[in-house]
């Protein structure tokens, strides 16, 4: 069992921590990932449960020794080595997540170089319109002005070529977008020897053929593809499942609350409250997408379930996952989010009935994604759980698996 929280509001600054952890895993010696060598285990201790006695949590996760980039790469290299690890990084998508990541880099890169011998340079920035390239590294104190002043058109092949031309042996592209277009370039990047780190869910939940091709490239080209941030709001879920399977364990099932937005909504949906009011509050607090239907449809949870199924050895397509949408059919065709929010109160009685029925039985409603490895099936649905169940103990935007 692990908990994570959807990073919103004042937590925005922590959003890119998982991509930073993935970068740390890439910067290793001897092929051992961070957390399985030396003091890395004590800094990030997964406690794996085993044995019989009925259903048990998959794993629990302790707190990080630090929520900074330094903490994330604390054991990326032995201190005794005098040589520096040189890394050329390209960031695609300097939007909300990308900006937060670049700010973490700005603060921590000098520290990492002094204390850990990690010479990380941001050598490329790109969005859908423009890009900014540098052989020696972009100055992060004023990257926004430099980037906005660049007249060079965006070229995702050009970024790859530029990183390979830099005098640094480790080229890495961090894709901070949610774009299917950008993720189509992963194979080309990896075939050229560029490592990829991303919170983008599109490859892992997109066509199975493309997913398998990317995973195959990891082995054939000896490049890394890290995507811990795609599931679990920062929990080390992907790495834990991989480590369990690599060491001989068999995953029987995976179940969890994977949407911070829907976690918040149902954590607060209790007797005396209205469903539409909670959705409105969530939207006002920045917990939802600009159009709450993107959250209430369950599609995002389905993408995460597809990813977890594949990581657990079940080759599902996104279309194989039955999804219980919380968007009333009558409101699916609303022309705007404003129209949707205006009409949503008309359907409060339906949700109130479900909540009251659950409460009368001593249960709560939770929006859950699950994978049954034995049957090879995944589901996304609204379920009822006893008030004593771990899923009923969450607060705010917590995730749990």
- Alpha carbon distances (Å) from 142 to 90, 99, 103, 186, 237: 16, 12, 11, 29, 35
Phi and psi at residue 320, to the nearest 5°: -80, -15
Phi and psi at residue 89, to the nearest 5°: -115, 135
Residue 353, Cβ neighbours under 10 Å: how many?
Answer: 10
Cβ–Cβ < 8 Å for 63, 56: no
Cα distance between residue 103 and residue 111, in whole Å: 14
Residue 14, Cβ neighbours under 10 Å: how many?
Answer: 17
**Where would I find the beta strands (DSSP E) of 217-259?**
225-226, 253-256
Burial class from Cβ neighbours inside 10 Å (0-12, 13-18, 19+) for residue 20 reads buried
Active centre residues (catalytic): 304
Which residues 6+ apart lie within 8 Å of 142 measured at CB?
Answer: none
Cα distance between residue 58 and residue 369, in whole Å: 15
| Coil/strand/helix, residue 181 | helix
Cβ–Cβ < 8 Å for 230, 198: yes
Cβ–Cβ < 8 Å for 27, 85: yes
Sheet of strand 118-126: strand arrangement: 131-133, 118-126, 85-92, 170-175, 195-197, 225-226
Torsion, Cα of 215, 218, 221, 222 (10° steps): -170
Cβ–Cβ < 8 Å for 308, 377: no
What residue has token string 């080595």?
81
Structure tokens at 180: 């299917």
Which residues 6+ apart lie within 8 Å of 181 measured at CB?
Answer: none
Cβ–Cβ < 8 Å for 194, 89: no
């Amino acid at each position: 069992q692990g908990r994570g929280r959807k990073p919103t509001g004042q937590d925005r600054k922590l959003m890119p921590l998982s991509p930073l952890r993935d970068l740390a895993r890439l910067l290793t010696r001897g092929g051992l990932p961070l957390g399985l060598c030396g003091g890395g285990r004590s800094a990030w201790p997964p406690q794996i449960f085993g044995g019989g006695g009925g259903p048990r949590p998959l794993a629990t996760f302790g707190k990080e020794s630090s929520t900074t980039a330094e903490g994330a790469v604390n054991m990326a290299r032995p201190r005794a080595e005098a040589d520096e690890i040189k890394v050329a990084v390209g960031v695609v998508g300097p939007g909300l997540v990308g900006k937060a990541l670049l700010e973490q880099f700005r603060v921590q890169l000098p520290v990492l170089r002094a204390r850990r011998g990690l010479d990380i340079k941001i050598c490329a920035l790109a969005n859908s319109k423009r890009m900014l390239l540098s052989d020696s590294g972009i100055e992060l104190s004023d990257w926004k002005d430099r980037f906005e002043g660049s007249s060079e058109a965006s070229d995702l092949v050009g970024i790859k070529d530029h990183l390979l031309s830099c005098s640094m042996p480790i080229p890495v592209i961090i894709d901070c977008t949610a774009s299917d277009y950008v993720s189509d370039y992963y194979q080309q990047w990896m075939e050229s020897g560029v490592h990829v780190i991303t919170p983008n869910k599109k490859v892992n939940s997109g066509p199975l053929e493309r997913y398998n091709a990317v995973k195959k490239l990891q082995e054939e080209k000896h490049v890394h593809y890290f995507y811990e941030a795609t599931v679990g709001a920062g929990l080390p879920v992907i790495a834990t499942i991989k480590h369990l399977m690599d060491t001989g364990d068999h995953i029987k099932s995976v179940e969890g609350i994977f949407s911070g937005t829907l976690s918040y909504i149902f954590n607060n949906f209790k007797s005396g409250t209205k469903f539409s009011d909670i959705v409105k509050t969530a939207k006002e607090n920045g917990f939802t997408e600009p159009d709450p239907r993107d959250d209430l449809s369950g599609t995002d949870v389905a993408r995460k379930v597809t990813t977890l199924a594949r990581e657990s050895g079940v080759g599902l397509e996104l279309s194989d996952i039955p999804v219980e949408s919380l968007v009333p059919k009558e409101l699916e065709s609303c022309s705007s989010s404003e129209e949707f929010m205006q009409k949503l109160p008309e359907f409060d009685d339906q949700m109130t009935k479900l909540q009251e029925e659950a409460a009368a039985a001593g249960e709560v409603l939770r929006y859950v994604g699950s994978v049954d490895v034995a049957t090879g099936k995944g589901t996304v649905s609204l379920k009822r759980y006893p008030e004593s169940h771990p899923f009923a103990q969450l607060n705010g935007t917590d995730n749990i698996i």
